[in-house]
Structure 1
């Protein structure tokens, strides 16, 4: 054989060997990756041992991994629930307790230190520890056995065997060790819920920050219009407080404005009535640059805190209940869909809990918390929406080191130290200070940590006295040091920072057999304050507003209060019996969708920052239309939940069309506006050409682009972080301005000419047409709303890591979604940032009280928290298209639909 042929043969063998090695290596790496992913998948079939049980527990799961648990005792039931939550969602549970404990730096290192400082300053975990001491004995027992169930699972799983996230975490924090679950970990989660649903704190900070940025009081008031009681019906339309009890049939007392519109009065505390003084803002009243800088920096710092339920005005919910007189079965139908931030996995865990005891309940739970939060038992069903009362107040404090000024006197601040462990770094110790109003949250800002070391001083060098003027302005500061040392700090008063009994309420709701017991449970549901709707198998429907809502001495909670004046302190809380409630209303149905709870004559101040009622009014219209067409069915209610009609488009579209007709629009803008001809104002994500959905989707795409550009053009003078976000709050602001064509708001700050309303409407229409032509082509009929309005469900811990492979592991692919902000199908988006979805119906539930087996439910993603598990995102497409799953109830039905059965043995 020639040397050339020998060489060629050897090269061929080397190449084959190399291919074989690469193939083997690829196979090994693939198998290793599959093993790494799958080794955390839980066992859902067969038998497992769960120490502590008194008898076997049976768990049936359907194709979607939804467990129905059958136990002998309540203790066995919640021990099993803890085990199952840990099986499917332990990383989520562990991440949540690090959030609530201010311990994120233990997981992710120094990058989370400032967040931990804020969380430790507020002290969520400390309050949860205090709550443990006041809970009922049964509640403590259930929380303990739940923790025992979690820990039984942890005894057999650690690191990567617990969840794929731990394998990824180990790449940067190999020293992390999972610790045992404690009952207080479950209670602390309630603080995270309350934080995300805390009411108007964001608005209070924004108002103060805008004043600090130089806007006038009137300009800020323009951005917070009154609730439109004349257009959008509150939840409770009749009733008053009689002898300390709310009576739904009592005539409304005339002339009171306790729940009045913004800017109307400075309401008094308990007992109603109003005083004539206009509410002050403490920052505005000082005229001091230090105070202004304090609130501006605080706004930025708090905005960076993690949100476990979501963020922004999209956080809300829909619920309604229809009396049996209006339904095809003769029994009530109850519907609920809470609107929260999209997360992977979804916020809810579906399960049924059944035992030979008082618990026989199914519905939605939170991993980490025993029981069912929203659902039904064998007698009643209930749903929740955010009541959104004003339960937070910010106080501007004058401080001097460890002292705070109150009514002209210096009083000691409370202090404590907190030590924060930092992965890969040294421990950090902080000092937390608190006034009588609450923790000094401004201390948590790296930019403002020195505030309060020295108060404003007069020329003689002594502390400035409290001003005697109504404006409460201190003497001008002559301090030559940095204005951070001018002696101002901000304290947070928040109802959730006081121990409460919400955990007791959850178990009481789960077992309540009727309206009386339901209300008794609601009385303990203190934070977060929620609208509770009710229905039972006897045909009763009802509503209760629960929650711990403060009564203020002075002020209405809209503006930051002067902490140095005790007249602005809370005087107590609205008694539960005086909070609005309704039983079997004459209309035959009730709707709660974050609108005003009750009219302006209600004697107590609940809030002035409601949602503006676009969703609730549309639901009223849908129910009445279905009622007029015949008896209402579960299918009708499911269609209502997926309604995509934009309630503001009928107001804005004619105004834009008029502006275009008065100007000289481009041919593209004219063609785009033609999309609105005969538009039904529905906003489907997609649709074929020459179909109703296709035409509506094209019209919606152009409308929402116009809406976004209109807000950007009109409110260009606002700081970027405080731009209007396009929610129903923005609807009301713009609605008012449309009637004021010469308002200064229409004038753009960067031009020399003075623009009016029609100039801005015309410019927004042209800009929107140009944007869509660039992004989707120059044929308006081919534009689609869903190409802009997409949802990417991201893992809460690693989903925005910036590492492409990690995000690919845990996040879902983007999907086109219907709906929009302030629409019944509430897929919210922030117009200041783009069109991407930032709030969604996190689940949908419909309960048929005539046949509980006919009830329906769905959640955003899936029941499993394990990436690549078949139940990780198997509900997402069904959710996206408005479909639901059977919410099985009877044991025979559950067993017939079981795909897997697991027996937990003692």
Structure 2
């Protein structure tokens, strides 16, 4: 017996030793790819030495004698910290994810191939100006220098993910950087999804007049009546079945609610306490770990530039120099039109045009799939754009038999000079210079805020399609592609894009709200992303005669919901303080307790308070009850509360209160009935999920920011090391925006918001500040993987200074790149 015990102990010890050895080996291999920031390297193609000084937040400050060497070093630094992220962005744009991830990403690859984004990027290389071409080549050479160093020095394949998902990494090319711009355009686009949803709603609603309730226009002048979609495209079936949306972590295709958003505002010297201009910017994208943004400073011959970059591109997208600051928001411009193309019944290789049937432009494309045979798909293009599959955004549900859908989109231009324009802007030194420099910007459409020492301006940038005034749907619904009036007639001149220069009031801003009210076809858009945050922003800006850097920070971090303040008095009008006291433990008593809490609430979406959770659950349940009977399965498409819809119904604007009546029931329900029933629904859900004690609820427990790793975030055990979860303030409609998931077991998880924040003060430029939501490194073993995360959560920032001495003080390393002797 003793001998058996001895052998069992030996076996157990051996197993423990093997586990320890295995863990140690994994750690060793993963740690090999941790970059060394303190070294001297000799590299080819440099003309003079370059220094990469990494400050104590690991922000690289790059100093060189020639601009091309500085961009070379930026490529090297991006590849040091974010190689995996860069290669994933490139693979996504190329439609080559399945080579690494197998069948799970085949549908994503198919869609990207059909859009032909990467081929368009390759074609766009030739239209860049010579200076941009040199910068793109220098940047690519710097990335490749890091790849060569990884291979020659056995640096763990460059990133831990490379061991898990082994795939060769090809050399970086200038087209790769251009493809990433187009990929970001895809993430920011929403009009295609909006057109399909509007068409499906039109088919589903028995009363077409109710469409303006559930998909309301932003307040302003009315829009001319649209035809019913069934009349516009005869033969389409009503109540077509929906297909579930594929929500893969790596998919760049965003539903309407998750398309890009942002805040930006500026103050002229007359509205600044210090007499200098101010600018605040926080672009909103889906949260990931690491964040999409990477902070960097470039010391160019034209002066220092510092701000937010995206690894893979050699440009500061939001930032400042000593003389000029710039920030971006998604413009909401309608730069996508969906067409229904009639296929020739006698020849399926042809489609109908205004001049008769014409052959599709076709090309075969092979998709290689890990652990599976490759597949070949046929790409088809019409004069209007690429033909899309019926599964994409449920296109099949609005496409008649014998037809296909195609997409016109400015991002698909093969003559895209956006990179050249962005690089020229980065080296401009005044507002007026910047407005000239950015004219070549094609897509994605943005609102560009510019400030210099004396002036502020905002200009919508990006190509605006020229539409015929006779367009059947004004671009709001899919339209027949064979009718000439529906087709794009080229582009509008840059001068026609809305602009606001040196306003008398001294304040400019945008929260993705409606900026102009112009008649079609110069309308810019019918769909705007925000009608709520702008209300709070106006109040905060006008509450002070003059502003400071700190007041801009306060506005950026503001968590008061205008939506809650405006809707709660409406939906609870007949519920507040009514009825007798109810026995403890009854649903009525719980409802009274919830209403009492909400009655004394200021609308602040604070993570430590219970009221935001009660309010959010109530509104979610209310909208679900109101739309379910009219829309049926299509109701699941409305993942987030539409405040204007709720307001229209409760104010009974144009008879919108009909949404509160349940069609299937004999009694006529009022909106007050719906509000009461929805509150009970919400309280049952809260009790089942969080417990019955309403006073002890915390909004932050439900509203956790989910900075998840796109590929390792679901791996057991490992996910605890690579995912970053935080209790957060804010909500769907606050200036500190934390857009909720809207679906799933955790509908209030914070999944989309300001992963970058910056506030620039030109009275004292080096007092400017910025922050990202995670950290600079993409390596989960690095201390810089998440060292900014808690600062970001608490609303803190780090210095955004061009002071070289400050950068060198307490730096985490200095990398010197020298030309090969």
With the length of structure 1 as denominator, give the TM-score of the two structures: 0.83
Distance 1:782 1:485, change over 3 A: closer
Partner Cα distance (1:281, 1:408) in 2: 26
Pick aligned residue for 2:183 from 183, 187, 192? 192
Q: How does 1:818-857 map to 2 (within 5 A)?
A: 818-833=729-744, 834-857=747-770
1:893-904 paired onto structure 2 within 5 Å: 893-904=806-817
User: Would the aligned equivalents of 2:202 and 2:229 in 1 still touch at CA under 8 Å?
Assistant: no
The correspondence for 2:195, drawn from 195, 198, 204, is 204
* Alignment partner, residue 424 of structure 1: 371
Residue 518 of structure 1 aligns with which residue? 434
Query: Which deviates the most, 53-62 or 750-759?
Result: 750-759
Q: Distance in 1 between matches of 2:708 and 2:776?
A: 15
Residue among 284, 289, 302 paired with 1:344: 289
Question: Which residue of structure 1 lines up, in the alignment, with residue 584 of structure 2?
Answer: none
Are residues 1:618 and 2:528 paired? Answer: no
8 A contact 1:341–1:839 mirrored in 2: yes
CA distance in 1, matches of 2:117, 2:367: 15
- Whether contact under 8 Å (2:91, 2:97) holds in the other structure is yes
Cα separation, partners in 2 of 1:418 and 1:17, compared to 1, 3 Å: closer
Which residue of 2 is the match for residue 217 of structure 1? Answer: 208
Q: 1:54 to 1:824 in 2, by over 3 A?
A: same
Residue 198 of structure 1: how far off its partner (Å): 2.2
- Partner Cα separation in structure 2 for residue 566 and residue 305 of structure 1: 39
2:313 to 357, 366, 369: 369
> 1:764 & 1:775 partners in 2: Cα distance?
16
Matched, 1:390 2:334: yes
- 1:323-338 → structure 2 map (5 Å cutoff): 323-338=268-283
- Please, which moves more after superposition, 604-613 or 712-721? 712-721
Task: Go from structure 1 to structure 2 and tell me whether the alpha carbon gap of 1:445 and 1:884 turns closer, same or farther (over 3 Å shift).
Answer: closer
Tell me the residue number matched to 1:467: none
Distance 1:304 1:782, change over 3 A: closer
Aligned pair partner of 2:600 in 658, 668, 678:
678
Q: Would you say 1:491 and 2:406 are equivalent positions? A: yes
State the distance in 2 between where 1:751 and 1:51 align. 77
CA distance in 1, matches of 2:261, 2:400: 39
Query: Which of 219, 222, 225 pairs up with 1:228?
Result: 219
User: Pairwise mapping of residues 613-762 of structure 1 onto structure 2 (< 5 A)?
Assistant: 613-627=531-545, 631-661=546-576, 666-686=588-608, 697-717=609-629, 718-720=631-633, 722-723=635-636, 725=638, 730-740=642-652, 743-748=657-662, 751-762=665-676
CA deviation map 1:561-619 (0-9, x unaligned): 11121111111222111222122111111011111121346971200101243212211
1:747 Cα deviation after fit: 2.5
SS in 2 for 1:551: coil
Give the whole-Å Cα distance in 1 for the aligned partners of 2:443 and 2:216: 27
Q: Are the counterparts in 1 of residues 514 and 530 from structure 2 also a CA contact under 8 Å?
A: yes
The structure-2 alpha-carbon separation of the partners of 1:375 and 1:485, relative to structure 1 and needing over 3 Å to count, comes to: closer
Match of 1:124 in 2: 117
Q: Which residue of 1 is the match for residue 791 of structure 2?
A: 878
2:360 maps to: 413
Contact 1:318/1:592, CA 8 A, preserved across alignment = yes
Residue 46 of structure 1 and its aligned partner are, at CA, apart by: 2.2
- Distance of 1:126 and 1:776 partners within structure 2: 50
Match of 2:37 in 1: 44
Superposition deviation, residue 196 in structure 1: 1.6
| 1: CA distance, partners of 2:246 / 2:462 | 24
Matching residue of 1:53 = 46
- Shift in alpha-carbon separation, 1:616–1:16, aligned structure 2, 3 A: same
Q: 2:467, 2:521 within 8 Å by CA — same for their partners in 1?
A: no
Taking a change above 3 Å as real, the CA distance of residues 291 and 753 of structure 1, as seen in their structure-2 partners, is closer
Structure 2: state its 5+ residue gaps: 581-586
SS in 1 for 2:475: coil
Aligned residue number for residue 98 of structure 1: 91
Q: Does 1:162 align with 2:158?
A: yes
Distance 1:162 1:751 in 2: 63
CA contact (8 A) 1:726 1:829 kept: no
Q: For the residues of structure 2 that align with 1:587 and 1:448, how far apart are their CA atoms? A: 46
- Shift in alpha-carbon separation, 1:281–1:890, aligned structure 2, 3 A: farther
What is the CA distance between 1:725 and its match in structure 2? Answer: 4.6
Displacement of 1:427 in angstroms is 2.2
Render the CA deviation track for 1:241-278: whole Å, top value 9, x for unaligned: xxxxxxxxxxxxxxxxxxx54xx22xxxxxxxxxxxx4
Deviates more, 1:204-213 or 1:151-160: 151-160
Q: How does 1:397-546 map to 2 (within 5 A)?
A: 397-400=341-344, 401-407=348-354, 409-442=356-389, 486-498=401-413, 499-537=415-453, 539-546=454-461
**How far does the alpha carbon of each residue in 1:528-551 deviate from its partner, in whole angstroms, 9 at most, with x for none?**
1100111112x2111111111112
Local SS of the residue matching 2:489: strand
Aligned pairs, how many?
A: 796
* Cα shift readout 1:847-883 (whole Å, capped 9, x = no counterpart): 1112221011011111111112111111111111111
Q: Contact 2:235/2:400 (CA < 8 Å) preserved in 1? A: no
Change (3 A) 1:604 1:27: same
Contact 1:660/1:762 (<8 A) preserved? yes
Let me know the Cα RMSD of the aligned residues: 2.6
* 882 and 789 in structure 1: CA distance in 2 versus 1, 3 angstrom threshold: same
Residue 547 of structure 1, aligned match among 462, 471, 492: 462
Alpha-carbon distance between aligned partners in 2 of 1:325 and 1:92, rounded to the nearest angstrom: 43
Change (3 A) 1:430 1:27: closer
**Contact 2:111 2:388 (8 Å CA) reproduced:** yes
Return the offset for 1:622. Answer: 1.0
Residues 549 and 759 of structure 2 are in contact (CA less than 8 Å); yes or no, is this contact kept in structure 1?
yes
1:129-140 correspondence to structure 2 within 5 Å: 129-140=122-133
The DSSP-based 3-state class of the residue aligned with 2:149 is coil
Instruction: Pick from 218, 230, 235 the counterpart of residue 288 of structure 1.
Output: 235
Query: Which whole-Å CA distance do the structure 2 matches of 1:303 and 1:37 have between them?
Result: 29
The alignment status of 1:179 with 2:170, answered yes or no, reads yes
Cα distance in 2 for residues equivalent to 1:722 and 1:102:
32
1:319 aligns to 2:264 (yes or no): yes
Q: CA offsets per residue over residues 6-64 of structure 1, 9 Å max, x none?
A: x64x5675566456434433432232132132111111112223322111111111222
**Aligned counterparts of 1:360 and 1:873: Cα–Cα separation in 2:** 27
For the residues of structure 1 that align with 2:67 and 2:386, how far apart are their CA atoms? 39
In the alignment, is the contact (CA less than 8 A) between 1:828 and 1:837 conserved in 2? yes
* 8 Å CA contact retained: 2:34, 2:781: no
Paired with 2:246 and 2:438, the residues of 1 have a C-alpha distance of 30
C-alpha separation between the residues in 2 aligned to 1:326 and 1:221?
Answer: 39
Distance 1:791 1:721, change over 3 A: farther
- Cα pair 1:95 1:797 within 8 Å, conserved: no
Q: Is the alpha carbon distance of 1:796 and 1:633 closer, same or farther for their aligned partners in structure 2, counting shifts above 3 Å?
A: same
Describe the shift of the 1:546–1:644 C-alpha distance in structure 2 as closer, same or farther (beyond 3 A).
same
Shift of residue 404, structure 1, vs aligned partner: 1.1
2:583 aligned residue = none
3-state DSSP class of the match of 1:505? Answer: helix
Deviates more, 1:106-115 or 1:307-316: 307-316
Distance in 2 (alpha carbons) for counterparts of 1:446 and 1:604: 27
